[in-house]
Amino acid sequence: MVKKTNLKLIPLGGLNGVGKNMMVFEKDNRIIIVDCGLMFPDDDMPGVDFIIPDFSYIKKNKEKVEALIVTHGHEDHIGGIPFLFKEINVPIFATKLTIGLIKAGLNNSGIGMKIKYNEIDPDKPLNIGPFHIDFFRVNHSIPDGIGLIIKTDVGTVLHTGDFKFDLTPIDKKVTQFSKIAEAGSKGVLALLCDSTNAEEAGYTLPEKDVGKTLHDKFEEAPKRIIVATFSSHIHRIQQVLDVARKSGRKVAISGKSILKTIRVSSELGYLKIPEDIIIPITRIDDYPLKEIVILATGSQGEPLSALNRMALGEHKRVSIMKGDMVIISASPVPGNERAISNTINRLIRQGADVFYESIAGVHVSGHAASEEIKIMISLASPRYFIPVHGENKHKIQNARIAKSIGISEDNIIIAEDGDIIKMNVNQCRITGNLNPQTIYIDGIGMGNIEDMVLKDRRILSGNGIIFIVVGVDFTKKVILQEPDFVMKGVIYIKDLKEIIEKIKNVIEGTIKTCFSENIMDKNMIENIVNDMVSKFIFKKTGIRPIIITKIVSL
């Protein structure tokens, strides 16, 4: 009899925050990857565009990788694919809309390789090596989302993907409860369950509720309406278009990402655009204000988004005016709260009436609240429960939900990114961690930025930089040219001239001390000067600008 090997699960992202979701399933030296997303940076990561998973384990084991399976088309599940495919090329399996969005991303990335796409039919199983995979349709804030039932010879793992239970979905495609229940009746070894909304009591409201609120707001708006939402939220975009048509308004689009989504989803039949409703943004002045809706990117306060540029008065076509109604139809992604608040405040200062999630019913989540999670657990009836997709607080709350309905605490696995989870018919446990690096995408650059680099960027953004140039004769050990200063981004300093003279004394005294101690290495002297000047400025002013000293041999 052949001995059954362990099933290995390795989350490479998605378990230490909301984003960069990526899960590795490994069995009998064969690997399938589920999702490959990105995460947007926090405020304390200046200059960073986004963060992707560490692909080191995949690169090391690329010969074992059989496929990438994608649960849905959100950026936190597909945004890392262009970077992954710089390392490997494997078949991609996804539903029709998800493939369309992945193709659009890969086409814009400049990757020239030929990629094999395989469209998933949720009612047709898939066999890849030791993995027999069934799919079940789920509701989420984007069409064509799926969960996975992954069967192996040691047991079945059910991966929910991102889900909610919406009994009246916009596309009329409800969650396939029967498939989850059937898997549960046959035995589920482990359930990987979406944790994002675990802190919310009760049930997540249906998407149609937003449509009712939008209708009411559109009716009461005296002038122009600007709606910002997630660019991938096709159901929300559909409702904006439908309500605009009913209220006799035209819709103009502002933002490359939302234009891309509308193009792809309408071409594939997922978005039904009412006839003659969309106009170019260049024509908004051709209509009365009361007949215009602008659908824009920027629901997360992104610096380069259309709404933020409007808020800053930098948009080429749209200037906010008194009486504009701005609807931010989205919830803050963790880490974006401050940016969104800043955008809202700027819009209000310019005279706009702003409505957002916490004061109006203009958004509902795409993730399951606590009662829906209980239903998922009850249907799947797993032996082991593994919270995924969320920060630590979300995973812990999800674990509490599982425990409250009978899952043993010993059978709840709280994992982190990089953990190696091994399971067989008798056990499920974490056996180690790959210690993945944080991979930042910075412009066209990609890599692990050292903490010191981010620290320098934070200092630059807050306190600025001071350049110091000193002319020195190393042969005679004398200073020939007194220190010269260039300051950039340094906040106001009281008695600046007096402090500059004292800094000069510190620099000259430090260099003379180095010479007296026979320290003649230019780089070493520059570093010592940097340190002494930094300490002096902090003592006198309480700020810590970056100090860069250049000693010139004369």
Hey, which residues are catalytic here? 194, 367
Tokens coding 451: 């903490």
In this structure, the chain runs to a length of 554
What is the widest separation between alpha-carbon atoms in the chain? 88
User: By the 8 A CB rule, do 179 and 271 touch?
Assistant: no
What is the token pair recorded at 217? 């707001």
- Please say whether the beta carbons of 354 and 347 come within 8 A: yes
Helices within 383-434 (DSSP H only): 392-404
Query: What's the half-sphere exposure (Cβ side, CA atoms, 13 Å) at 523?
Result: 0
Instruction: Give the separation between CA 499 and CA 399, rounded to whole angstroms.
Output: 57
Side-chain-facing half-sphere of 190: CA atoms under 13 Å: 28
Nearest to 451 by CA among 467, 466, 440: 440
CA-nearest of 170, 141, 166 to 329 is 141
Instruction: Provide CB contacts within 8 A for 284, sequence distance 6+.
Output: 252, 292, 294, 317, 318
Cα–Cα distances in Å, from 377 out to 15, 54, 365, 402?
19, 30, 20, 7
Among residues 501, 508, 514, the alpha carbon closest in space to that of 540 is found at 501
CA distance linking residue 108 with residue 263, whole number of Å? 14
How far lies 69's CA from each of 33, 102, 254, 387, 416, in Å?
A: 6, 12, 32, 20, 21
C-alpha 82/C-alpha 59 separation (Å) is 14
Token duo for residue 328 = 């931010």
Query: Which two structure tokens, joined as six digits, stand for 58?
Result: 């995949």
Tokens coding 45: 């990561």
